[in-house]
Structure 1
Amino acid sequence: MSRNIINAVCTTIGVGSLVAGAFVAIHPTEVRTMSMPQFQLDRLQRLAETSCRCERRAGRNGAAKCWAEFERRMPGADMQSMCEPSVHSRCAGKGMLGGNDCVVMQYYFEGYQLCSSVELKTMEAVFNAELDATHGKGPLPKTEKLYRDMVAGKPLPKLNGSSLCTSS
């Protein structure tokens, strides 16, 4: 490489870094920063999954009691996606859209309340397989049984392959 090309590349990198640094200095609140360590977010995610499973067993009347500890430990703003599957999250911290320290509280897929990404992937796989087998007409007895098993706290079945729709 010629010295002129190297100088041009280095100059571009330097100017880009200078502009980024100036942006951060002028707009510090617009830069996403973690305000909670990852281990704490992981712990809160496990608590959310436990709280969701408790609510699923207890029903709406027992929901407040099930979520009390999570509510105490995870202040912030709730966000609900409108896509299928719908994701209900709680975000806190100094990031965009109310925070970047987010915990998924629960998923909703085809009317089922699911408490983890593993439950969601399993439900999607069984649901999609049944729809394929019946050419979209149903009924869906395997899906219904899977959900009853989830509510009862039974272990999830091992599935071959992966879900077509869920990437996380």
Structure 2
Amino acid sequence: MALAGVLFQAVTRNPLAEPRILGVSAGASFGVVLAIAVFGVSTLAGYVWFGIAGALFAGMLAFAVANRTREGASPVTLTLVGAALDAGLGAIVYALLSIDARTFEEYRFWVVGGLTGRDVGSAWPVRCCRSCWPGCCWPRSPPGAWTRSPSATTWHAGWATGSPWSGWPPAAGECC
């Protein structure tokens, strides 16, 4: 990921360049929504290929439009074109999602993620991550981290009785 970010910033000559600013993220979303709404794609592989195609389309469109200006594809021009492309494709995506409930449900499931309706082969990376890296479990509060205040109206961190983070993170088997 870091290498991709460095390449993105080097090619655009912009230290702040990232996929959202240049419209590439909106292009990927547009590709997935188009695949679901128009072509009826409902597989993860289909989402990935249409997402890649949409991202490539948006990136090439941003560079093509930026090159047509007087300054050429300067960092500022690329950023402005990318922001406009992000807004335009985002509007199309949300319009398509608001029209068709099935498309919205499929897209929501893809964006949020989940293992419902997936086979065991899809679940093993998640299980492996949760078993081997306890950091995956950190959103759960450690034991004793939150205690009821005497007024019983607010919650506060329980630092008075020692650190609630002792023994945290849990061992690999405890979080799953």
TM bin, normalised by shorter chain, reads: under 0.3
- Larger proportion of strand: 1
TM-score, normalization: structure 2?
0.23
